[in-house]
Amino acid sequence: MGSVQLAGPGAAWRRHWPEYLIEAWALGMFMVSASAFTTLLEYPHSPFRQAIANADLRRLLIGIAMGATAVGLIYSPWGRRSGAHMNPAVTLSFWRLGKIGRWDALFYIVAQFVGGTIGVLAVRAALNEAFTAAPVSYITTLPGAQGNGIALIAEFAISAIMMWTVLQLSASRRYARYTGLCAGALVALYITVEAPFSGMSMNPARSFASAWPAAQWHGFWIYLIAPVLGMQTAAAWQLHRHRRSELPCAKLAHNSTRPCIHCGHPGVAA
């Protein structure tokens, strides 16, 4: 079944506002978790930072924490309800595939930007200089020492691989249940291995959420363009190989007990 289409923004908001708020909550919680764990392991006066001298090991631990956070959000009851996109590039890819209505997609994207930013502001209020000062610096995503070009390529590549993986697994009856686990594993891997090249964003709303409070816009265009292009490339590949009706619902983990705003599944009694 295709995505549920509503007449206009008012109708979409009245029927689906809980899903929009869930998207804001999900990225907000992801940013709170990312901010807290990064501060814990990178703030110079943190006992964990002092105990773990190896930067690669600290990045691995942050990656594991963030991968686990993503998995928890995806498989949470609320994450199953909205689909746990948490990323405008993901939402735009599902929109291109015809799996989410245009007004739902617009409200999802707005919610993601707002929710992520609120999450960062909340951490700033709680942790103050430990979070805002270098080296944590609002966990902004910045190009690495190799420059903007490498950061652009890296962001494109990790975004394309992530979306390709999500679409491949979601479309499989056998492996669909593992989509969120694999997405979380990729987040952990990317933070561990790719972060030195681009900061590992893969998400325009995530980068904005840090850049705006920090007033740090260096290379920000990369994080607006590369994730969207990468995920759109993966979506285009799926459209080349499959009919739209064969493509999965716009959820990383489906909750069959509730009606789905994307595919129209009526829901069944628990």
pLDDT at position 4 is 58
Give how far Cα 70 sits from Cα of 64, 186, 220, Å.
10, 10, 23
Q: Summarize pLDDT for 227-252 with one digit per residue, the tens.
A: 999 999 999 999 988 888 788 899 99
Tokens matching residue 36 = 């807290």
Domains by residue range for the chain, with CATH = 9-246 (1.20.1080.10)
| CB-CB contact of 137 with 124 (8 Å) | no
pTM: 0.95
* In 133-216, beta strands by DSSP E: none
Spans of the chain, pLDDT less than 50: 1, 270
| Closest alpha carbon to 190 in 143, 155, 218, 227 | 155
